[in-house]
Amino acid sequence: MATKNFDYESFAQNLAAQAQELVPQDFNDLQKQYVINTLGNFSLLSGKALAEDPALNFNEEQAITITQIIAEWSFHKSVDVIRSGIPQQYWDTIMQKIAYTIFEIAKQTFSQGLPHDKILELIEHHVKKSYLDAITELKNKGAIDEGLMEFAASQSNMDRMAQEMQQNQQQAANQGSGMPTQLQDQSIPMEFPKVDSKVLKLATVAMLFKKMNQDRVQTILNKFDPQDAQAVIKYMRVPDLAQRVGTANALRCLQEIKTNLPKSTDASPNRVVLKLKKFASKYSSKELDTILIRERIGVKRLVFNALEGKYYDKMPPKVASIVATHLLDSV
């Protein structure tokens, strides 16, 4: 019989609300919302099945426990999927396989009356297996490479949170004993190794990207060598990246990067803006509207952004430079 007294809708909403306080602070708004929505949706679907499916025979306490287990693992693995660097179009596929696995294993183990600890152990084993199977399948299809698959496989938000909790407890104990904070954790290296200049440069770039608009970051990363782009993404997820790189290393790498940058050309965004301002300065607003009336919307935005001193970054600089030159030459 179905679990009639289980208010699964309120319970799922409650779980999603709690998750808002636990989502990693380094996630952007879209990533945070994905975690919350995924947890909420899977909690709602499983709760609905447990409450309304006449073929199931769980009491209210069991239904709540199963739904909560699904919510917890949905939270942890959606965080892992995001941190893995796997393209967003594959997130739902991975998470659906995991949620289905949890639900099926939970139904079987609870129906068999296994001890709670054994149930949790079996569910954890099968969650990890289904996650690895899903990312291995992506690799075999050519959707991701082996390096990204291995990096994705190494993600474990559950282990990370447990470690952070242990460190916080240790820190509290050390503070109570008067031990200096800088001596509390000697196991984590505070700087990246200095033997590989490229590693340091990529880590320094990651430091800069963490402070930038993520859409802009993705546009830039698309121009990187794929392996370098994955390395930058990996370094961006290091919580204490600035401390590990070190101020001296970061300054040295920034200077090297600046020295090796190509010289400014007509295709640079600043040059394009200047050219368009020169073009537009010859006309009144009404005349400019008439000239641009037959142009595509992207060209119009390029020009009007330039009038405000901004570059329309949806258009590649080389294309924008050609457009600017065309407009100037057509005067």
**How far apart are alpha carbons 80 and 90 in whole angstroms?**
13
> Tens of pLDDT along 56-77?
778 888 888 899 899 999 999 9
Sign of CA dihedral 42, 47, 53, 55: positive
Q: What band does 93 get if pLDDT is binned at 50, 70 and 90?
A: very high
**How far apart are alpha carbons 68 and 143 in whole angstroms?**
32
2 within 8 A of 54, measured Cβ to Cβ: yes
Burial of 128: CB neighbours in 10 Å, binned 0-12, 13-18, 19+: middle
Query: Helix 91-111 crosses helix 60-84 at what angle (to 10 degrees)?
Result: 150
Q: Is the pLDDT of residue 223 over 90?
A: no
Which of 171-185, 241-255, 293-307 is most confident? Answer: 293-307
Which two three-digit tokens encode residue 209? Answer: 């990207």
Q: Is the pLDDT of residue 285 over 60?
A: yes
Residue 260 confidence (pLDDT) = 60
Over residues 258-269, the mean pLDDT reads 59
Q: Is the pLDDT of residue 20 over 60?
A: yes
316 within 8 A of 265, measured Cβ to Cβ: no
191 within 8 A of 229, measured Cβ to Cβ: no
Q: What is the 3-state secondary structure (H, E, C) of 80-123?
A: HHHHHCCCHHHHHHHHHHHHHHHHHHHHHHHHCCCCHHHHHHHH
Half-sphere exposure of residue 300: CA atoms within 13 angstroms, side-chain side:
11
Residue 178 confidence (pLDDT) = 47
**How far apart are alpha carbons 290 and 33 in whole angstroms?**
43
What is the total residue count of the chain?
A: 331
> Tens of pLDDT along 157-206?
877 776 666 666 566 555 554 444 433 333 333 344 443 467 777 888 88
Local structure of residue 283 (DSSP, 8 states) = S
**How far apart are alpha carbons 106 and 320 in whole angstroms?**
57
> Tens of pLDDT along 103-159?
999 989 988 888 888 888 899 999 999 999 999 999 999 888 888 888 888 888 877
Nearest to 100 by CA among 31, 36, 45, 19: 45
- Angle of CA points 191, 195, 199, to nearest 5°: 70
Over residues 21-42, the mean pLDDT reads 90
265: left (phi > 0), else alpha (psi -120 to 50), else beta?
Answer: beta
Q: Of residues 274 and 198, which shows the higher confidence score?
A: 274
% of the chain at pLDDT higher than 90: 20
pTM for the model: 0.52
Nearest to 237 by CA among 331, 136, 160, 139: 160
